[in-house]
Every structure is written in C-alpha cells, then in structure tokens.
Structure 1
Amino acid sequence: MSAAFLIRCGLLATAAAAALVTAIPAAAADRVTGKPFATRSEVYAPHAMAATSHPLATQIALDVMQAGGSAVDAAIAANAALGLMEPTGNGVGGDLFAIVWDPKTKKLHGYNGSGRSPKSLTLAEFQRRGLTDIPAHGPLPVTVPGTVDAWFALHGKFGRKPMADNLAPAIRYAREGHPVHEVIAYYWNASVPRLSKWPGFAEQFTVDGGAKGERRAPRRGETWKNPNLANTLQAIADGGRDAFYRGEIARSIDAYFKANDGFLSYEDLATHAGEWVEPVSTNYRGYDVWELPPNGQGIAALQILNLLEPYDLKRYGFGSVEHVHLFTEAKKLAFADRARWYADPAFAKAPVQKLIGKPYARQRGKLISMDKAAREVQPATPAELDEGDTIYMTVADADGMMVSLIQSNYRGMGSGMAPPGLGFIFQDRGEQFVLKENHPNSFAPGKRPFHTIIPAFVTKAGKPWLSFGLMGGAMQPQGHAQIVMNLVDFGMNLQEAGDAPRIQHDGSTEPAGQATVMSDGGELDLETGFDYETVRALMRKGHSVRYADGPYGGYQAIMVNPHGGYIGASESRKDGQAAGY
C-alpha cells in the first residue's frame, strides 16, 4: 500500500506520516475548486445507484436492477457477494439490520436481523469457567446468525426477482473466483494468525487450505474461490430460508458445535426469527435523522445531534476547537446512556422516546462545559427518564426505493469458527454481553446482545433525502452524527462529507464486557488533517489527544438529487465504489 493510502486509512501513525506526506489541514481547500478536500467527485446517475465497499458488489447490484430487480433484490445480491469477497467484514454467519424507504407507502421500514444467544448456555456456565468477559473468539461468543432470515424477510416484502436469481452472481464468483482487493487483503492477512487455530478456519480461509504447510491469506490481486460457500448459497437458493435454519446446513452446524465445545444448536437455529421494527428519529435543523431502536446503538447518534443542535457549529467552522470539543462532550453524554440503557428490549426495555427527546437533551446539555473536558459522565437515572472489521452498503432503484443495509461478523472475520464444508465463519457478537447479574446487557439464554451495527436514513419534509451509514464498532453513531454535521452544518457535498478527517472518542463507559466506567475522560482520536493549533487548544481543555491507527470506519451514501436521479459517494479509506446508471 502507498504511504498516502495508509495515512488516509489511519494505518500509519502521524509521526511516521509526517516524514512522508504533508498533512492536509481540516479547513484546507482543493487547489483547483477552492472547496473542501475530496478524493474524487460525487457520482451522479439518472435512474439507479449502488454504493458498496467492493466494486464488484456494486456492479452486481446495478446488474440486478437493470434486469428488473428492486433495490432490495440488488441489496441482497450485493450483500451475498460481499460475504464472499469481503469475509473480513461480513457473511452469512453474521447479523443484518436494514432501513428501507418504500415509495408506495411513502414510509420507512426497519428490520432487526440480529440473532440470540444459545438457549443451553447460561451465565452460570461462564462463571463456572472462571470468566469475567466472554472470549473474543472460539465457540463461546457465537450467537445465531440472522442474515439469511433477514434476506428472505426483506425479499418477501420488497423483492421482485426470485431469490435464486439474486444469489446467482455470488455463487458464480465463489466457483469461478475473483481478485482480492487491497484493504481486504490487508485485514485478511492480519486475521489468519489469530484465527487459524479454530476448527475449519485455516482449511477454508487460507490459500490452499494450508495444505502445503503455509497458512496465509490471499494477497492483493490473487484469485480467491470458495466452492463451499457456493454450495451453501446454492442450497439456500434451492431450498429457501429453511435450508439454512432447518435443513442439512443447520444439522451440520449443530454437529460442528457439539464436537467443538460449543452451545449453538439445531433448535437455536430452527426457532430463530428476526423482526420488523419502527425506525425512530430526531429532527436536526430541519432534517429528520432516522435510526433503529435498541438492541442496537443507533439512537446514540440522535442523542449526539440533539445535544449539538443549540450550538452554531457553522459559525465555529469545521475543524475548530469548538467543533471537536462540543462533539466529544456530546458523545460522552450519549455513550453514558448507551452503556446503561441499550439492550435487548425483550429483557430490558429502554425509554427510547425520552432518550431521543429534545427536553432531555437540553437538560443533559447543561453538563457540557465550553472550557473543560469532562473526565466522568454518569448516565441518566431512572427518575430522570421516568415514562410519566462490518460492511455498510446502500442501493436505490428507478422506482424510488432506497435501502440502507449493514451486515457484520463483528470482530472482522468473527469467531474463527468455520464449519467444514460450509464456507463461512460464525460471528462472535456474543462478546458484547456483560458477565454480571442485574445489568441490562447481562448474558442470558435466548437473548440478543447489545449491537453495534446500525443503518441510517434522513428525510426532509417527509421525503427521502439520504440513505447512509458508517461502519466500525463504537465509531458508528459518532460517524453518523459527523456525516450529518458535515452536510448540514458545514455545507460539504456527499463525497466531501465522507472524506473529511474524522473524530473518534474512545474510553466511554461500555455496555459490553465488564462494563467499566470512564473516570479519566478517555482518549480523543483525530484523523490526520486537523490543524495542530486545534490539537493544542483541545489539550489545554483537558482532552487526551492521540492519532490512532485506523478506527475511523467505512462510509457509503446515496442522496436524492433534487434535479432527478441520485448522487452517490463511497469511502475513500476502503476498496469501495459508488456507481449508477
């Protein structure tokens, strides 16, 4: 990879970067246009648009729509291909969330495709093993994968083409092979040493299955085939949803976990069901920003925006000390509530409407100081709220349907558990549970963990305006809020809004693991491009500033063009592409 590319990805520390490339100030203008810096132009198309993290997946989505498929058909086809082409972020072993704009009903529909913990695994079992956190890899963090169910639920409501047609491109690429892209090759290589000890991983996710004694990932540009995944997808194409959750695939999964100290069972798969949910929103300066309610973390983005709305960010300017400081302090407040209240609503119902309400934001906003960074932040009390590496992609079709979809294995390639002959890896989403009693996110059998993956949507005056997302763990709600700010407050175009240097605050109280409490103010990560005078001023306010390696997420977006058609943008830090026709 080039030095410039690594710096844009945040994969080189600033000290090393400074010797290679001159940093671009946050407020710097393009030397030709005088506008904020962007890696490339926005993409315009009159009929349909797709933006994904892999160019081949984008092309598949466009092909499906040109052949008469809906945006949902195209999204399913692209997502199936991404599970093959970008196993470092997603696959049929993971979960899926989506928001769909339906032009017929003129409303948004949300789907929560997250799976539950094994029914035979208990908190007492973790305690018996002496664990205080759920391990990141292996059989214990595995939960039921919800992706295939979500595909069929979305297709049943909004699909036009047969599911077999939607899965055919991924099946063909799995059998015939495809060249591995640069960023994917980088993360795949990093995953192989960590995950090769788990049964089935090295055999199916290293070159030649490690048969020659060398366990390595495919290199950039090398052709990768996955005939096992092709067979799995073909079985789903032929037998439908139940082929995965009730057929031979489910029986193979059951036998695999029984043989490898696991708990996921045939019954867990057979009884899985995702659910349609109502998206929730807040209005930010005339724009309605939509997220899905918990067990995901989407409403944290809405809380951040509510806290920032009273401030004149446009006057302060992008990259100013006020911009970065206020965003960071708002994030701390939202994430304190995230740790306390966000969980599976079937087990711990959060007061969502109060949390995303303007009155609550004004009350909590009084805790923000313009002069000093908060070291500790407490969540709202029940009395205050009394009711008295993931992929993101988006698709829009010629009929006006727009899909905002996010799908993930959690920690990059997930748990490492890869049942022989199936060609996919199970997610390790169960790592997000807390192993102590009386916490909203405590582990329990048949429970959905706190979830980080969140799609987003924006409407204006009741009409679709923007389908977007930004993947990357706790960065996601922070990224969602920053994209909205960049577009609405700072007047950036769709590509500029994604390319602008990003802010990530780390160290807030977490809803997962041991759920430790922030007591030192955490760490403020600034991507290369922020002016050093801003950094110095932030440090004087008490922020601990660092230049971290690549935690800034991956962005895709489609905006409705007011003159007709769509505008697309794709993440410059990844391999992706926005394209249309």
Structure 2
Amino acid sequence: MRYFIIICLFLSVISLTSKAQDRITGKPFATRSEVIAQHGMAATSQPLATQVAIDILKKGGNAIDAAIAANAMLGLVEPTGNGIGGDLFAIVWDAKTQKLYGLNASGRSPKALTLDYFKKNNLDKIPSHGPLPVSTPGCVDGWFELHGKFGTKEMTEILQPAINYAREGFPVSELIAFYMNRSVNTLSKFPGFKETYMPNGKTPAKGEVFKNPYLANTLEKIAKGGRDAFYKGDIAKTIGQYIKEQGGFLSYEDLASHKSEWVDPVSVNYRGYDVWELPPNGQGIAALQMLAILEGFDLKSMGYGTKEYIHHFIEAKKLAFEDRAKYYADPAFNEIPVEWLISEDYAAERRKLINTERASKTLDAGKLRDGDTIYMTVADKEGNMVSLIQSNYRGMGSGMTPTKLGFILQDRGELFTLEEGHFNTYEPSKRPFHTIIPAFITKDGKPFMSFGLMGGATQPQGHAQIVTNIIDFGMNIQEAGDAPRILHFGSSQPTGGIMKDGGVVNLESGFDYETIRELVLMGHDVSFSVGNYGGYQAIMYDAENKVYYGASESRKDGQAAGY
C-alpha cells in the first residue's frame, strides 16, 4: 500500500517536472543558460551577495576579497543558513603559485564542558538548540586567515557593503522569509532572538525591508579592529557572558584561544579529472569514496536516470557512509586513515560488496542528516578561484542570540556523539564532525571547476552526482545542478541513524515512473520528499577561450553573475 501511495505521488508530478521547459538551446534539465564572462565570476545563494562580490572585483579586489565580502553579506541576507556565529571551510586556487590551499575554520567545543556533565544530567544526546550544542564560531577567524594569505583590499572596504545593507535594510526574498518564519516556534523563546529578527513582533515577510543595526555595529568593530575584535574584545566578552547566563559553557577563554588550520586538500582521480575535498573533521572524503567506487562501473553506458545508475549510486553511497559514521572526526584526537579510505585498492575491495541486482539491507549508513548552509564561489581576472562554504547548522543555529550583536551562534556541537569510544565522542576543545564541505576539480594540474552545494548529508551525495553528471553524462554545469537528485538516508527518522532495512531513497521529482517501480522491485524503499535536495553553485574555467562559466541552481534564490 505504501508503495502504491508513493508511486501515485510521483505520477502526479512527473508529467510536469520531468525536465525543464523546452528551450531554444541548452540541455534538457537546465532551467537557464550558463553565465559566461571573461574578467570575473561570482555564484552565491542570494543575488545581493553575488552583486557585492562583483562590485569588489570591479574595484580591483581579487576573488578572496570578493568571497569574504559576499560571505559577510550572506550572513545578513540569509541568516537562515549562515552567519558569523558559524564555521567556515574553503579551498583556494592561487594563480600565483598554481596550487590549491585548504582552510579548516571550524571551532572547538568548550573547555569547561565534559562528557561527565551529560552523564550526570542523564542526557543520551546533545540537544539541538540552546547553550549546550554551541561550539566556538570559526567564521571570522577564517576570513582573516584567507585575507592574510591572499587578500588585497582592506577589510574595512571588504566589509562595508554588508555594513551598509545591515543599516539601510534589504528586501527579504521569498525563500528566506519562509525559513525565518519557520524558525520562530523553536528559537523565539531564547533571549535576543525576537529583538534581532522580530523587530515588529514577527519575522519579515517577502519583500519587507529588514534592518539589522546590531550586526552592522558588530561588523564595523571587526572591520576596524580585526579578528581580535571578535575573539578577544567586547564581542567575545558579550558572547561569554550571554552563554553563561543561559547555563552554557562557551567562554571568553574559548574564543580567545581559537585558531583556524591550513590543511592540504585530498583528491581522487575520476576518469582523468582530479576531484578535491578537505580531510576530516568534515565529510568531504565521502564524496571521494563514492567516486572511487563508481569509477569501476560504466555509468555512461547505463545512462542518466536509469535503474542501473541509480542503484549503483545508492549502493556506493551506503558503503562510503558506513565509513563516514565510523571514522570521520577531529584528526587531532584520532588517527584517521584518509589515504586508505580514498585509495583505489580500498575502493576495489568495497566495490565487490555491491550486488548489481539487489539493494543491500544491513550497512551502517551514518546518523547525521539535518542542516542548512550557504555555498558560494568566486573567480577573478588573475585566475584565482575560491570554493567557500559556511554555516550555522540547523538553519539559523542554536537560537543563542548574544545581546545586541546581531547574529546567532551555531549548534555544531550537536554533531558529537555521547557514545564512549567513538572517533567523534564529545571531548573538551575538540572539533565536531562537520557536514559542510567545499569542492574543487582540476584537470592536468590546472583549475577546471569550483563547486559545492548545501544541506547536511546531502552534500557528499550531491558532490558525487555533480561530478558524474558532468563527466559521465556530458551535462553542462547549469544542467548538472538542475538535474533531479538522488538522496539516500540511513533511516526514515529525521535525525538519520544506523541503516535499517536498506534505508530510504528520496528521489526528486523528474525520474521516470518505470525506473521508480523497478527500483522498488530491486528492494529499495523509495520515498517522495519536498525540498532537502541542496542548493548548488559552480564556476568552471574554459582554458581554451579564457572565460569563466557560472551556474546557480533553481532550488534556492541564487545567482551567478560575471563581467
């Protein structure tokens, strides 16, 4: 009966959504043409942020300057996914050294909070909201690390657009208005939230001009005083005092001792293209593991959207997420076998476990699912490219809104486990398992594409699909993001969990009914879901014509623009 209901749901939408409306030129799934420009390109999840990035580029700033400016702007105009209370990760292609650099700007757990606290208070998991899941926000330090290594413009100029918009206001877009309103029931009970985000007793509606003068003041202090203004000045003291009043543990000392880490990106070669991710504590190597397994199958001959392709993709995902659940954590606390996990030999071993005819039922597919994020990418006339992702987690974050600072603190600490002996067990001054991941592709040692997308456990699955869409199925970068997505989760519960009975497959509207029916007959539990399929941005470099191609998918408010 359940399958019949699911199939009826799909049938009701397939005829309308199986592909984008017929276009004079372009690809079947593309909602719009790619943007093409010579001098610079920016793709973010909000048009005003994209325009800020382009303005910085036109004024002589480089891709790094523009990325910081756009990220600051996104924290204002899209508080439902990111802000300076969250963490940041980035991969930078530096045109001068012709090299990729990785930045892990994620924060650590409070020094004063121990595992015993949770035991004594009979907690079997870290709460999703309130003071306990709050970890040190790494975003601002990440900005200054990026700027110190690569930036050219003064930070006062880089942050000024976001400061101006925060003071003068901006019209809230439809999607952001929806998500802000959805956060009210959970977050409005926490001190500071209403004062910041509900100035007229409610969150702003679509088209309403929203101002955040508190954030403007905070950004001004950061612009003038540098990263220490955030981590060692009045801002840090306000955060520490606020959290203490809420019964939490993040302190001034946690903020003052915070530092980001430059890391080497890691890669697998997929059919001649090097796909790059950052190593744990993020989940990026799950995408690499999936691709390493899939390379052993002829996906091109299977064809996009067929039962064979979808089945093999899902089974590869299950295998990668089994390792994700067991091994991905803070490498400062664990010996994580990254090189082995993404090796060809290991992929060959795991590939043998895939039954080409039946869905597997007993693999551990990980347990972390919820989350919202922004992803953005910028490229400049010198050839520098930035792949940057930033997030609060669970949309707007913990709900902890420090007094008159204009932002919410993240709740990344929820992603620790309280199970003793696990790689990701909670410990003081430890970085939690992280869902947000930037990605990059090179070809023959040269930049090919900077890309990423949003949404918890969606991200590595989405990364792998973008790569296969382009390399195996010949899609352009716009179509690769717009094509319907496959998502597998370990259980039907919102928080995920150990895979039971093969987990659940969510297929976005657009897949053929016969394919769905055949997948069910192969043993897959297929479900229908609205949303949760991510928000993708990408920039590709065409070395022959020396131009950039930009793409921003239709699931979010995003825009790609160049000049």
TM range (shorter): over 0.9
Aligned pairs (5 A) from 1:349-428: 349-377=335-363, 389-428=372-411
- Cα separation, 1, equivalents of 2:57 and 2:326: 43
Deviation track 1:389-425 (CA, whole Å, cap 9, x = no partner) reads 2000000000000000000000000000001110000
Deviation track 1:91-134 (CA, whole Å, cap 9, x = no partner) reads 00000000000011101000000000000001110111111111
User: The residue matched to 1:207 in structure 2 has which SS?
Assistant: coil
User: The residue matched to 2:16 in structure 1 has which SS?
Assistant: coil
Q: Does 1:345 align with 2:331?
A: yes
Q: 1:411 is aligned with what amino acid? A: R
- Cα separation, 2, equivalents of 1:366 and 1:21: 34
Q: What's 1:25 paired with?
A: 18
For residues 90 and 241 of structure 1, do their structure 2 counterparts lie closer, same or farther at Cα, with a shift above 3 Å needed? same
- Cα separation, 2, equivalents of 1:469 and 1:85: 20
User: The residue matched to 1:282 in structure 2 has which SS?
Assistant: strand
- Cα separation, 2, equivalents of 1:37 and 1:326: 22
Q: Does 1:541 align with 2:522?
A: yes
Q: Does 1:333 align with 2:319?
A: yes
Q: Does 1:294 align with 2:280?
A: yes
Q: What's 2:260 paired with?
A: 274
Q: What's 1:522 paired with?
A: 503
Q: 1:41 is aligned with what amino acid? A: S
**Which of residues 458, 477, 482 is equivalent to 2:460?**
477
Q: Is the 8 A contact 2:89 2:390 kept in 1?
A: yes
Q: What's 1:8 paired with?
A: none
Q: Is the 8 A contact 1:523 1:543 kept in 2?
A: yes
Q: Is the 8 A contact 1:36 1:492 kept in 2?
A: no
**Which of residues 24, 35, 46 is equivalent to 2:38?**
46
- Cα separation, 2, equivalents of 1:23 and 1:328: 25
Q: 1:362 is aligned with what amino acid? A: A
How far off is 1:349 after superposition?
A: 2.1
Q: Does 1:190 align with 2:171?
A: no
Q: What's 2:369 paired with?
A: none
For residues 30 and 309 of structure 1, do their structure 2 counterparts lie closer, same or farther at Cα, with a shift above 3 Å needed? farther
Q: Does 1:569 align with 2:551?
A: yes
Q: What's 1:252 paired with?
A: 238
How far off is 1:242 after superposition?
A: 0.2
For residues 228 and 177 of structure 1, do their structure 2 counterparts lie closer, same or farther at Cα, with a shift above 3 Å needed? same
Q: What's 2:446 paired with?
A: 463
How far off is 1:32 after superposition?
A: 3.7
How far off is 1:14 after superposition?
A: 8.5
How far off is 1:160 after superposition?
A: 0.2
Q: 1:317 is aligned with what amino acid? A: G
Amino-acid identity (%): 65
- Cα separation, 2, equivalents of 1:107 and 1:34: 33
How far off is 1:498 after superposition?
A: 0.4
Deviation track 1:3-58 (CA, whole Å, cap 9, x = no partner) reads xxxxxxxxxx99678657833336x8946447322110000001100000010100
For residues 509 and 551 of structure 1, do their structure 2 counterparts lie closer, same or farther at Cα, with a shift above 3 Å needed? closer
User: The residue matched to 2:453 in structure 1 has which SS?
Assistant: strand
User: The residue matched to 1:554 in structure 2 has which SS?
Assistant: coil
Q: Is the 8 A contact 1:336 1:508 kept in 2?
A: no
Which moved further from structure 2: 28-37 or 423-432? Answer: 28-37
Q: 1:553 is aligned with what amino acid? A: G
Structure 1, unpaired ranges of 5+: 1-12, 211-215, 381-388
- Cα separation, 2, equivalents of 1:355 and 1:132: 30
User: The residue matched to 1:454 in structure 2 has which SS?
Assistant: coil
- Cα separation, 1, equivalents of 2:462 and 2:300: 18
How far off is 1:342 after superposition?
A: 0.4
- Cα separation, 2, equivalents of 1:290 and 1:29: 33
How far off is 1:520 after superposition?
A: 1.2
Q: Is the 8 A contact 1:336 1:509 kept in 2?
A: no
Number of residues paired by the alignment? 552
Q: What's 1:204 paired with?
A: 196
- Cα separation, 1, equivalents of 2:248 and 2:241: 10
Deviation track 1:157-185 (CA, whole Å, cap 9, x = no partner) reads 00000011100000000000000011111
- Superposed CA RMSD: 1.9
Q: Is the 8 A contact 1:14 1:528 kept in 2?
A: no
User: The residue matched to 1:22 in structure 2 has which SS?
Assistant: helix
Structure 2, unpaired ranges of 5+: 1-5, 367-371
Q: What's 1:123 paired with?
A: 115
Deviation track 1:358-385 (CA, whole Å, cap 9, x = no partner) reads 11000110000111000112699xxxxx
Aligned pairs (5 A) from 1:6-155: 22-25=15-18, 30=22, 32-33=24-25, 35-155=27-147
How far off is 1:192 after superposition?
A: 1.2
- Cα separation, 2, equivalents of 1:516 and 1:476: 17
How far off is 1:348 after superposition?
A: 1.3
Q: Does 1:449 align with 2:442?
A: no
How far off is 1:541 after superposition?
A: 0.7
- Cα separation, 2, equivalents of 1:261 and 1:30: 57
For residues 360 and 379 of structure 1, do their structure 2 counterparts lie closer, same or farther at Cα, with a shift above 3 Å needed? farther
Q: 2:255 is aligned with what amino acid? A: L
Deviation track 1:170-211 (CA, whole Å, cap 9, x = no partner) reads 000000000001111111111111110111111111132x3x
Q: Is the 8 A contact 1:434 1:441 kept in 2?
A: yes
Q: What's 1:502 paired with?
A: 485
Q: Is the 8 A contact 1:29 1:35 kept in 2?
A: no
Aligned pairs (5 A) from 1:163-178: 163-178=155-170
Deviation track 1:318-341 (CA, whole Å, cap 9, x = no partner) reads 100011000000000000000000
User: The residue matched to 2:449 in structure 1 has which SS?
Assistant: strand
User: The residue matched to 1:533 in structure 2 has which SS?
Assistant: helix
- Cα separation, 2, equivalents of 1:288 and 1:224: 43
- Cα separation, 1, equivalents of 2:553 and 2:79: 18
Q: Is the 8 A contact 1:139 1:257 kept in 2?
A: yes
Q: What's 1:385 paired with?
A: none
